[in-house]
Homo-oligomer: A and B are copies of this chain.
């Protein structure tokens, strides 16, 4: 077994860093606390594997990855995930218009109701962010 086939020891630490860049430090902390309260091993798998391994990969930037994950959340109709990945997209340089286009593009694949409900949720995140930036 070559060492390159082994998960490196620093995955968890890298996961924490990716999380902060992806959603901002405040939301990252909230998510981390939430996942820990749910189950410590689930938190560990999310941080070390999902964030530290998968989200940390090169080739696609965090904005594109967020739009891809938003797309998956729209078609699976997962409200919390639509919220989270909209936030991640905006945090990493997507405009509100690009978030809207991602959702409109999926009308023809996810069904119209899935798209309009996703847009309603995304609008709330976009609105909240605007409020915060103002104040």
Contact = CB atoms under 8 A, between A and B. Distances in A.
Interface of A: 1, 5-7, 9-13, 35, 38-39, 41-42, 44-50, 53-55, 57, 59-60, 64-65, 67-69, 71-78, 80-81, 95, 97-98, 100-102, 104-117, 119-120, 123
Nearest to A44: B5
Contacts of A42: 104, 107, 112, 115-116, 119
Nearest to A42: B116
Contacts of A114: 78
17 contacts: A1-B13, A7-B49, A38-B120, A42-B104, A42-B107, A42-B119, A45-B49, A45-B53, A57-B105, A59-B101, A60-B102, A69-B71, A72-B72, A72-B74, A76-B111, A78-B114, A80-B113
